Amino acid sequence: MSQFLPLTRAEMEARGWDAPDFVYVTGDAYVDHPSFGVAIISRVLEDAGYRVAILAQPDYKSCDAFRAYGRPRLGFLVTAGNIDSMVAHYTAAKKKRSRDFYSPGGKAGLRPDRATIVYCNRIREAYGDVPIIIGGLEASLRRFAHYDYWDNKVRRSILVDSRADILTYGMGEKILLRVAELLAKGVPVKKIRDVRGTVYLCSPEDKLHYPVAGEFDYNVLKTDRRAYAEAFGVQYKNQDAISGQAITERYDAKLLVQNPPMPPLEREELDRVYALPYMRTYHPAYEAAGGVPAIEEVRFSITHNRGCFGACNFCALAFHQGRTVRSRSIESVVEEARKITAMPDFKGYIHDIGGPTANFRYPACKKQLTDGVCAGRKCLAPKPCPNLEVDHSEYISLIEQVEALPKVKRVFIRSGIRFDYLLADKSDAFFRKLVRDNVSGQLKVAPEHCSADVLRCMGKPDYSVYSRFREKYFALCDAVGKEQYLVPYLMSSHPGSTLHDAVELALCLKREGYAPEQVQDFYPTPGTASTVMYYTGINPLTGKDVYVATDYHEKQLQRALLQYNRPQSAELVREALMLCGREDLIGHGKHCLVKPAGGGSEKKYAPSPRGKGGRENRPSSRTAGGKRNSSASAQPKDGRSAKNSRNSRGKKR
């Protein structure tokens, strides 16, 4: 009978173990569900015959908690959890979050800032030279020298600061199985240097196992912004398992080496991973605290794919899961759905069959299977590649087979739909089915902005593509007789966005009758091209200069413009419009964004030239804030939502 892996020494001893092979330290509460990285890796290792004990959210103020299981036979695995610990703790404005959705009862403060580093240092205190392997999103996205928004500087690789032996990046199943196999054979951890998907430290004189695409020096990267941007560009272009090469960074007397990526799991391998005996909920130890809130988002949801060739610049997926897509078989997904229908609290609704992008099932083209992803271009933006293969037929069949299961009333699609890929399909069969059967009242999509300049910096398609999608969506809603809504995600202050661009977006929202209740500020998080733009003022994928709003007050003005109709935004909106020389939008006319201030005359400001200012002109006394980190993993709710209004039509019909 399936059971949870040991969460305490007593649970370990109840299994008859004297010691585990691995102690898995995590900054999250223990949730045994395949949406959580710890659950997948621990079950994969268990399936291979290894004993894994979970040390969840240990008391990090001393090393005592890290001795709970004794010294593991093979080593410690360490992760900050499903998301970066700094993102878990702080908002885009660098304010402390009041809740942690990955902790019991949503309680904040149960993990430290920079959890991976803190945990590894405590393990070193407790056991000295025991092997330590770090992984998860925090380690993966901080594996090179990286700009850290909270310190406002370029930090060293997390492997250097944590004093771990090996860093695994990307999806870790095959990587950790290989590392575990070598450790079990008695290979010293310091000698494990040829495993793909790993990063290690060695002497600069040591022979490397793979050809090197780029050689960099931290002492240069931490001060030279153009060199930093160029380094990221090389890193980004070498994240493909077929074409990618090794990359090195010098840290004085040490050399950091990233081996090329591990090939992704193929369909049969993914099926095996998702067939493992997950309990599909949190450990019973958390029941008294009210459980773990994060499970509610995924409890009745299914992940059918990995990877994303959408490659938005503000998204960390390209740097973590990669741009090549793999998917599970229909039979595997249907079998997981059967398990969900057998759960005692299942009410008949599958909340999602999705992934990083819901409507991707295969690589963008056949060339990716032999030559890897194209290093110098994107598959969808600014326009779909001529080689792009678009076919939703298998996804339709998958959904229909789940819908046919006994006890299933409805199947919803709540993961992101890539609307430009949808429109590129010559058949509208999936679009019709989505609208007819799989939208739960409103569909969330991500145009993010309307300005062509900003969208280019984001790596998104032109706004006209979203407009075509929107019109067809509502036409299909009308055709099936359903009153459904469209909620566009919008982002303020992304690199490339000036006040003029924010005014343009505000006018677009007014024309379309859409009033966002909340807007997401750009959040500079490690591992994204947009964060490099924020820090350097350079697009690392093109080498071109980019305007960056880093002044906190300007960011407030841009955000206020996106919520121009809110009374509390009025003063900031008026200021922004005057700075842009758009006083014509202040008044009582239908075209105006805001009314004049009550009484008195308005001060007239000189308009700021479009595209001027940015990084080189920012006041040093200001701070700034940020963006949603799209990743392979879930993250704190950003609260972006909208009123139930018929977007683009301005009213319900």
pLDDT at 2 over 70: no
With a threshold of 0.75, does the pTM exceed it?
yes
pLDDT tops 60 at residue 626 = no
* pLDDT tens-place string over residues 203-247: 999 999 999 999 999 999 999 999 999 999 999 999 999 999 999
What's residue 617's pLDDT?
31
Is pLDDT of 615 > 80? Answer: no
Judge if 482 and 626 occupy the same domain: yes
On the question of pLDDT at 577 being above 50, the answer is: yes
In percent, the amount of the chain with pLDDT more than 90 equals: 87
What is the predicted pLDDT for the residue at 166?
98
Determine phi and psi for 303, rounding to 5 degrees. Answer: -95, 120
Neighbours of 553 (CB within 10 A): 13
Rg (CA), the chain: 25
pLDDT at 647 over 50: no
Domain that holds residue 124: 9-196
Q: Are residues 420 and 473 in the same domain?
A: no
For tokens 């206020």, the residue is 560
642, 584: one domain = yes
Q: Are residues 435 and 448 in the same domain?
A: no
- pLDDT of 606 higher than 80: no
Q: Are residues 570 and 612 in the same domain?
A: yes
Please give the tally of structural domains in the chain: 3
Q: What is the CATH number of the domain that holds 49?
A: 3.40.50.280
Q: Is the pLDDT of residue 167 over 80?
A: yes
pLDDT tens across 390-408, in order?
A: 999 999 999 999 999 999 9
One domain for residues 415 and 529: no
pLDDT at 609 (0 to 100) = 40
The answer to whether residue 496 sits within a structural domain is yes
Beta bridge partners of 200: 257
* 376 and 320 together in one domain: yes
- Say whether both 400 and 491 belong to one domain: no
How large is the average pLDDT for residues 14-34? Answer: 97
Tell me: the pLDDT tens digits for 500-559?
Answer: 999 999 999 999 988 887 789 999 999 999 999 999 999 999 999 999 998 999 999 999
Mean pLDDT over residues 276-295, rounded?
A: 96
Whole-number pLDDT of residue 318: 86
Give burial (CB, 10 Å; 0-12/13-18/19+) of 612.
exposed
- pLDDT tens-digit series, residues 408-437: 999 999 998 999 999 999 999 999 999 999
- Report the distance separating Cα 374 and Cα 368, nearest Å: 8
| Helices (H) then strands (E): counts for the chain | 23, 22
Q: Given CA atoms 392, 393, 398, 404 in this order, what sign does their dihedral have?
A: positive
- Per-residue confidence band for 640, with pLDDT thresholds at 50, 70 and 90: very low
- 630 and 564 share one domain: yes
pLDDT at 601: 43
CB atoms within 10 A of CB 48: 13
The pLDDT of residue 618 is above 50: no
pLDDT, mean over the chain: 91
Rounded to an integer, what is the distance from CA 342 to the centroid of its chain?
A: 31
pLDDT of residue 633: 37
User: Exposure string (b/e) for 339-373, b if CB count within 10 Å is 16 or more?
Assistant: ebeeeeeeeeebbbbbbbbbbbbbbbbeebeeebb
Could you tell me what percent of the chain has a pLDDT over 70?
A: 91
Structure tokens at 526: 């490690």
